[in-house]
Structure 1
Amino acid sequence: MNPPFSAYVDESMRLSHGLYLMAAVLVPPAQADFHRAALRGLLLRRQRRLHWRDENAKRRTLIIETVAGLRPSALVVVGTGLEARRQERARRKCMEHLLWELGRRPVTEIFFESRGPWLDAADRKLIDILRTRHAISPRLRALWVPAVEEPLTWLPDVVAGAASLAASGEAELWEGLGTGAEMVFVAAG
């Protein structure tokens, strides 16, 4: 029997390619502090958190190497057909598929990077609807945390960023993550 995992979730968009990506990285609770320390070790002076879009190519390579060293198990749901004005619809489609996938794995808690009270409430409402439809596992517990307070939310940000590049033809950083990362594609438009 596999030990329970916590999943950390973040999203990325590549509007120019019509993509909405939602990534989950599974972390065994016993390794959480080790992972946090490795991620904090990547921070530059005065940097409060890692954020993929703020990093240059050299830093992205270093970050990928560090994350790969943690041997992550990651899943990215890539929503295709994204229209800029329908981002929340794409998020719901990707989240529904991601939650279903996580329910098939030994995951008990899911930590979403908080997007603020109003948008977090919209996510909670979707999860409640999915639960009433029995579309997700009843054992999944969802929480929302600010990225500056929980370094483990940086992991899916990195994975989603690398997947975004791979889905648009630049696969080198994605491949650097190793075999524990997988992508699934869904229609989100």
Structure 2
Amino acid sequence: MPAHAFVDESSRGGYLLCAVVLLPADLNPARRLLRALCKPGQRRLHMKHESDGRRREILSAVSQLGIEVRIYRTKLDGRSERKARDECLRVMVQELIDQCGVDRMVVESCDQDHRDNQVIREMVLKAQAEERFVYLHSAPANEPLLWLPDIFAWAVGRGGDWKRRCGSGGIEIREIKP
């Protein structure tokens, strides 16, 4: 069954690119849950700006969704974040197409969208998936499902109890060698 992926990054002790994979039937229930977690006047969830109590509340709620989370992590070792992002993005796109059956990917928009598009297009062509894989960039305020990779990447990046709060299953961490 086709799936959708939502992608965001985190930079903590290296570079992390997080993809959250959802089936179409799970999209709207997950959006409703995320919107319900927003406080009045809050346009989006962003773990960097939440208190520890809110972080626990958010992780407790989203860990119940039973979604697939894939983290692509690499060390910077003097390399630019852009180079690390390209390496993670290449592996991620290939695996989302080949292993997860993803046919639609939404990446959090930032000042790197043009370069992202070049790397993604390269991998889509390599996988001969032009007819079955679409991708776009979106602002997190417009797509609540982009809050999920932010939440999971933040928690995994922090490690310890925060990572444990993500739930026992469904998170796969891939170490990408430079």
TM-score with structure 1 setting the length: 0.86
Contact 1:100 1:136 in 2 (8 A): no
The letter of the residue matching 1:121 is: H
TM-fit CA distance, 1:128: 2.3
1:11 equivalent in structure 2: 9
Distance 2:85 2:16 in 1: 8
Q: Helix, strand or coil: the match of 1:49?
A: coil
1:58 equivalent in structure 2: 53
Q: Helix, strand or coil: the match of 1:88?
A: helix
Distance 2:77 2:55 in 1: 25
Quote the sequence identity (%): 31
Superposition CA RMSD, Å = 1.6
Distance 2:75 2:147 in 1: 23
Gaps of 5+ in 2: none
* CA distance 1:31–1:131, change in 2 (3 Å): closer
TM-fit CA distance, 1:131: 3.6
Distance 1:163 1:62 in 2: 16
Contact 1:100 1:137 in 2 (8 A): no
* CA distance 1:185–1:137, change in 2 (3 Å): farther
Please show how residues 12-161 of structure 1 align to structure 2 within 5 Å: 12-14=10-12, 17=13, 19-83=14-78, 86-103=80-97, 104-116=99-111, 119-132=112-125, 134=126, 137-138=129-130, 139-161=132-154
TM-score with structure 2 setting the length: 0.91
Aligned residues: 175
Distance 1:157 1:6 in 2: 16
- Runs of at least 4 residues off by over 4 Å: 135-138
Gaps of 5+ in 1: none
Contact 2:88 2:176 in 1 (8 A): yes
Distance 1:127 1:25 in 2: 17
1:175 equivalent in structure 2: 164
* CA distance 1:45–1:136, change in 2 (3 Å): farther
The letter of the residue matching 1:177 is: C
